[in-house]
Amino acid sequence: MDRPRLRVADVLKQHWPEYCRDHPVESHVRKVMDHLRDCRSAALGGHLHRCTHCGGEIPVYNSCRDRHCPTCQTGRKQQWVAHRQAELLPVPYFHVVFTLPHRLNALIRANPTRLLGELFAVVAWVLQHFAADPQWKLRGQLGFIAVLHTWTQKLLPHYHVHCLVPGGAWDAATGTWRCANRHYLFGKDALAKAFQARFINRLQALRRANRLRYDGHAAPLKSDAAWTLLIHDLWKTPWIVYPKATARNPEHSLDYLGRYTHRVAIGDHRLRSLENNAITFDWRDRSDGNTVKQMTLPVHDFVARFMLHILPHGFAKVRAYGWLAGRKKTATLSAIRAVLNIKPPSSPPADESSAERIARLTGVDITLCPLCKTGRLMNLRRLHPSRAGP
C-alpha cells in the first residue's frame, strides 16, 4: 500500500510547537502557521458522512481556507478561473514577468507592505505608460491582472510579478479598440529600462521622505554611504522583464495564469520525506535544463524559509488594473465586446451546488464514497472543532 502523501500540515503538526519555543514569531505569521497546521483536521471540525451503499462512516474535516495553505488552493484556483472566464476576449494574450534584483531583498523584508505595494504600482505605471505611447501603436489603456510571487524553488526570496495582459488597448474617448500584434506586445529591453528607472526613482523618493525602515539585515542601509552604494549597484544591475505570448486560446491563457494566482511557496506534492528532523523536497534547477533535483534541510530551516513568504496581513497578492479594475469594468467590457462584435462567455448555472461546481471544474465527484466507490455520501452530523480554529 502506498504511504499517504506528506503535507506541509504534517511537518507543522510535528515541529511547529518546538519552533515557536526556540524562535520569536510575529503574531500574524503565527496565526497563519496555526491555520496550516490545523487544515483538514479534527481541530477545525467538519461533518461525518455515511455511505448509502456500504454504510461506512467517513469524517470530512474543514479546510483552513488560508491563502498560504498548499492544501486549500486547488479549489480556490478553479473558482477564481471560473469567475475570470466572463472577462475573456478573443484577442492575443501576453504573460509579462517583472523581477526585482536580489540586492533589494533585505530592504523589502524590512518594508514588505510599502515596497511590494510599490512593485505593483511601478509595474502598472510602466505597462500603461507603454500602452499610451504612440511608439508602440496602441495609444490607449490596458486591462490586466497582476500576481505577486516571492520565492525561488529553494524557498529563498525572489520578488516578482506575473501579469496576464490582453493584447490590445481601449481608447475610451473615441470608443476604439486597438489590437496588438499576436506575437509582440512591447520591447523587452525598453520595458526593463523603464522598470528599473521608475523603481529606483521611487526608492529615492521614499528615502527622502523618511518612509523606509531599516530593520534586520537592512540596518546597514541606514547610512548615506551604504545607500549610495545600493543605488549605484541597482543602476549597474541588469533588471529582468520577460514578456511572451501565451497560448492562442484565451481560456488556456487564463488557466495558465491560474497556476500562478493561487500557488504558494511550496506545494504538498513536492515534499518527499520527513526523517531525523530533516525534510527532503523536490526543486527544479532551471540552470540545468529544468532538471528536478532534491534538497534536504533541517526542519527548522525549512519552516523559517516557508515563513519568509507569508504576506503582510491584508496585502492583496492578486490585483486588476486598467479597464479590468473598478466599478466600470462590466460596462467597459460590454463596450469592447460591442466594438469587437462578440458575445460574452456563458455563465455557469445559477442554481449549481458546490458538489456540482467541483465536478464541473475538476472532474472530481466529492459525493462518491471513497471506500466502496459505489454509494453516495450523506451528511450524518456535524463534528465540532477539537480546539479553537481560525
Mean pLDDT is lowest, of 166-180, 199-213, 246-260, 287-301, for: 246-260
Under the banding of pLDDT at 50, 70 and 90, the label for residue 1 is very low
Q: How far apart are CA 145 and CA 143, in angstroms?
A: 7
Average pLDDT over residues 66-94: 82
End-to-end CA distance of the chain: 34
Average pLDDT over residues 208-218: 96
Residue 355 pLDDT more than 90?
no
The domain limits of the chain are 8-68+354-383, 89-265+308-340
pLDDT digits (tens, 9 = 90+) for 309-320: 999 999 999 999
Under the banding of pLDDT at 50, 70 and 90, the label for residue 249 is confident
Under the banding of pLDDT at 50, 70 and 90, the label for residue 347 is low
According to the model, what pLDDT value does residue 327 have?
85
According to the model, what pLDDT value does residue 353 have?
73
Share of the chain above pLDDT 70, in %: 95
pLDDT digits (tens, 9 = 90+) for 25-58: 999 999 999 999 999 999 999 999 999 999 999 9
Residue 124's closest CA among 132, 114, 112?
A: 132
Share of the chain above pLDDT 90, in %: 75
Average pLDDT over residues 205-211: 98
Q: How far apart are CA 190 and CA 128, in angstroms?
A: 14
According to the model, what pLDDT value does residue 390 have?
39
Chain centroid to CA 311:
11
DSSP state of 317: S
| One-letter amino acid for residue 212 of the chain | L
Question: What grid cell was written down for 353?
Answer: 451546488
According to the model, what pLDDT value does residue 343 have?
86
According to the model, what pLDDT value does residue 279 have?
97
Under the banding of pLDDT at 50, 70 and 90, the label for residue 87 is confident
pLDDT digits (tens, 9 = 90+) for 165-190: 999 999 999 999 999 998 889 999 99
Under the banding of pLDDT at 50, 70 and 90, the label for residue 349 is low
Question: What grid cell was written down for 211?
Answer: 518612509
Q: What topology does CATH give the domain 89-265+308-340?
A: Replication Protein E1; Chain: A, (3.40.1310)
Q: Directed axis angle between helix 188-208 and helix 112-132, to 10°?
A: 140
According to the model, what pLDDT value does residue 360 have?
72
Residue 68 pLDDT more than 70?
yes
